[in-house]
Structure 1
Amino acid sequence: MKFSYWLNLIFLITIGFLFWSLKEVLILIFAGVIIAMALCTLTGRVAKIIPISRQFCLFISLTSVILILTIAMIIVIPQFTKEFQQLIIQLPSAVKALLEIIIDFIKKLSEIIYGNNSEIITNNDFIFKEFTPLPDGGALANGITDSIKRLLNIAGNLGLGIVQIIFVFSISLMIAFQPDAYREIIIQLTPSFYRRRARHILNECGQALSNWMVGVIISSSFVALLAGISLYLLGIKLVFANALIAGILNIIPNIGPTISTIFPISVALLDAPWKSIAILIAYITIQNIESYAITPSVMHYQVKLLPALTLSAQFIFTVIFGPIGLLLSLPLAVILQVLIKEILIHDVLDKKKIA
């Protein structure tokens, strides 16, 4: 083999190790790119409505986002925080109620099988003694808060977390102000014969991310609305917090909808056990409506991700990047799907002419 071949191989391996060592920084940069794409998408929508310069449209977009976040912090967040704390405090009681239901079911089943003389279960205290005493609501809330802090890697170093947040938003603003300039830098780093294709692929990635964000916002809003209506009709307390949790966690497929059912079911167990079953049925129905009715209706906005690719991306990116990899697994999967389609399939397997 030629010396140039080995030199190129060593160079690629070195670049790979460099990227791996900088993976935590790269995932933060990607988060900034996601926010920048959201700003660019919103700016594009404003530019279609108001025929003014892009800089002024970006200013309007930023002002609108800041205004919405401010209103959310003043109105939505306090109410959500209050209800969410009540949810956390009620979890131990809900677990105890669930255990009592299970024990009662086992006792009745035992009586049916062994008769009234069965001594398999004498009383509930026997079962509860086998379990570690459950913490009270305040202790559990503090424990969950500490776990979330550790999960986000800011418990030990709050200053580093603030720096990371500032870094992400700084990157997003810089890219949003000059998206074309940064795109051209990436294109110039590709070989000259591939630059036209690289420009096309980058445009496809950007369009896919924009479409995914619009579709997710629409579907998550519908899920939150349907969850809120269902919980209200069932007479479940803390409707606002549970509906908002359902909408937010809908962004994370497979895992998110499953987690979102824990809180309303916990509240229902303390009210009426039958309501927990009704909530489970309602949430399953909502997810089916979202999958087969809402998503197809907004499919011209949303990118259709292959289920196997989505699940694999969640697992792989969580292992590589940690919790932030799980949060960004879907946009990463969107980019990965475009790259596989355009580069691996079109340019390599199909051997299409690159021009």
Structure 2
Amino acid sequence: MTLARWLGLFVIIASLYILWQIRMVAFLFLAAVVIATTLNRLVRRFKQSHVKRTYAILLSISIILALSGILIALVLVRFINQFDQLLSLIRLSISQLQYWSYEFQSRIPDGMMTNLPSLASFTQQLQTAVSWIITSIYLFLSNSLTLILNILLVFVLSIMLLANPQRYRQGLVYIFPAFYRQRADEILSKCEVRLVHYVAEITLSMVFVGVTSTIGLLVLKVPLPVVNGLLAGLSAFIPYVGAIASAIPPILLALLDEPWKAGAVLFLYFIIQQVEGSFVTSLVMQHQVDLLPATTLALLTAFGIFFGPLGLLLGLPILVIAQTWLEEAVVHDILDPWKSQ
């Protein structure tokens, strides 16, 4: 290799190393980009009504802050107050499940046990998984100062991006060669549209799953229906993984109350996910974000392993942007015009 190629390789490795070291800041900046992009669409709607951009920005931020305040006052305060009770009941449910598994295995002949999976091992693994989740939640919430600072940083970055988005966009476009800048600007516009559709779709999904889960758990008389419904709604932000994780607490609580309710809760959550995926978002959203389920689940798992909770939360917006660039820049601009000689 020539000296220039060695220098190029060194620059790439150094850039990847620096990016890895500042990955948390990069994720927070990406969160600000998603928020600013969504709010910018609302600002444009206000500007169409002949409202000045400054007032449109203030009005948009005021609406978001007001909705967030109502959510915190009506729902999150109650959730925090009942969260410890939920964790205690989950631990009690796992203990009861272990007791039932030992009772069941004691009534089975020893010759048959070799061909059956160990229920005790399953309950121990379930307890380990639940303990890990609880510990992670406590660690995440215990460092409240860092959490507050991160939220403030995202809020300030969002306002700065929203104040003059065109300037930041032009700076990004100038990174590309001159002949490709117009095309890059078109791709950024498509990324913006898809991000807005993603935020609208995921918001609708969270509201639908949270409300229907709460109503269903109230009908089944499962303990703490509001807390479990809120968990289901918030977990809908993370596709597939969130749906599975949010179903575990109400199933365990239903099992502690009356065993038949556990199957009913599982069926309820299954129906809610099917209705949400097949009818709700497809009827309301005209342009859905089309991501392959298996690929999405695998990549979200990888984001969660390498980048933690922020990787899970922001994994899907990253996939939306990456898929748009791959489709437009790689497939349409490079592969499609490529003809064999």
- Into which bin does the TM-score normalised by the smaller protein fall? 0.7 to 0.9
Change (3 A) 1:321 1:96: closer
TM-score, normalised relative to structure 2:
0.85
Query: Which residue of the partner structure matches residue 23 of structure 1?
Result: 23
Between the aligned partners of 1:329 and 1:193, the Cα distance in structure 2 is: 31
Partner amino acid, structure 1, of 2:85: Q
Match of 1:328 among 314, 323, 338: 314
Between the aligned partners of 1:100 and 1:3, the Cα distance in structure 2 is: 68
Deviation at 1:11, TM superposition (A): 4.4
Asked whether the 8 Å contact 1:223–1:286 carries over to 2, the reply is yes
Change (3 A) 1:103 1:17: closer
Q: 2:71 aligned with 1:72, yes or no? A: yes
Change (3 A) 1:83 1:146: same
SS in structure 2 opposite 1:328?
helix
How many pairs does the alignment contain?
329
Alpha-carbon displacement from aligned partner over 1:146-202 (angstroms, at most 9, x marks no partner): 5325357x74xx654443332222111100111111101111122111100110111
Between the aligned partners of 2:201 and 2:67, the Cα distance in structure 1 is: 20
Query: Which residue of the partner structure matches residue 208 of structure 2?
Result: 222
Between the aligned partners of 2:91 and 2:12, the Cα distance in structure 1 is: 53
SS in structure 1 opposite 2:65?
helix
Between the aligned partners of 1:351 and 1:319, the Cα distance in structure 2 is: 38
Partner amino acid, structure 2, of 1:278: A
Asked whether the 8 Å contact 2:32–2:155 carries over to 1, the reply is yes
Query: Which residue of the partner structure matches residue 256 of structure 1?
Result: 242
Alpha-carbon displacement from aligned partner over 1:246-286 (angstroms, at most 9, x marks no partner): 11101111211111112111221222111111101111111
Alpha-carbon displacement from aligned partner over 1:109-163 (angstroms, at most 9, x marks no partner): 449x88xxx9xxxxxxxx8xx98xx9xxxxx99x9765325357x74xx654443
Unaligned runs of 5+ in 2: 114-119
Asked whether the 8 Å contact 1:28–1:164 carries over to 2, the reply is yes
Partner amino acid, structure 2, of 1:253: P
TM-score, normalised relative to structure 1:
0.82
Partner amino acid, structure 2, of 1:51: H
Q: 2:285 aligned with 1:296, yes or no? A: no
Where do 1:99-114 residues align within 5 Å? 99-110=98-109
Task: Name the Cα RMSD after superposition.
Answer: 3.2
Query: Which residue of the partner structure matches residue 56 of structure 1?
Result: 55
Between the aligned partners of 1:144 and 1:321, the Cα distance in structure 2 is: 16
SS in structure 2 opposite 1:261?
helix
Query: Which residue of the partner structure matches residue 116 of structure 2?
Result: none
Between the aligned partners of 2:297 and 2:241, the Cα distance in structure 1 is: 10
Change (3 A) 1:106 1:145: closer
Query: Which residue of the partner structure matches residue 83 of structure 1?
Result: 82
Deviation at 1:87, TM superposition (A): 1.0
Deviation at 1:336, TM superposition (A): 1.0
Between the aligned partners of 1:144 and 1:214, the Cα distance in structure 2 is: 28
Partner amino acid, structure 2, of 1:185: G
Between the aligned partners of 2:21 and 2:250, the Cα distance in structure 1 is: 42
Between the aligned partners of 1:85 and 1:301, the Cα distance in structure 2 is: 41
Between the aligned partners of 1:219 and 1:334, the Cα distance in structure 2 is: 17
Q: 2:157 aligned with 1:150, yes or no? A: no
Match of 2:220 among 208, 225, 234: 234
Between the aligned partners of 2:302 and 2:149, the Cα distance in structure 1 is: 26
SS in structure 1 opposite 2:322?
helix
SS in structure 1 opposite 2:51?
coil
CA radius of gyration, larger in = 1
Query: Which residue of the partner structure matches residue 117 of structure 2?
Result: none
Query: Which residue of the partner structure matches residue 32 of structure 2?
Result: 32
Unaligned runs of 5+ in 1: 119-126, 135-139
Between the aligned partners of 2:146 and 2:69, the Cα distance in structure 1 is: 24
Between the aligned partners of 2:260 and 2:318, the Cα distance in structure 1 is: 40
SS in structure 2 opposite 1:33?
helix
Change (3 A) 1:22 1:92: closer
Match of 1:201 among 187, 196, 200: 187
Between the aligned partners of 1:18 and 1:327, the Cα distance in structure 2 is: 22
Change (3 A) 1:86 1:17: closer
Asked whether the 8 Å contact 1:213–1:302 carries over to 2, the reply is no
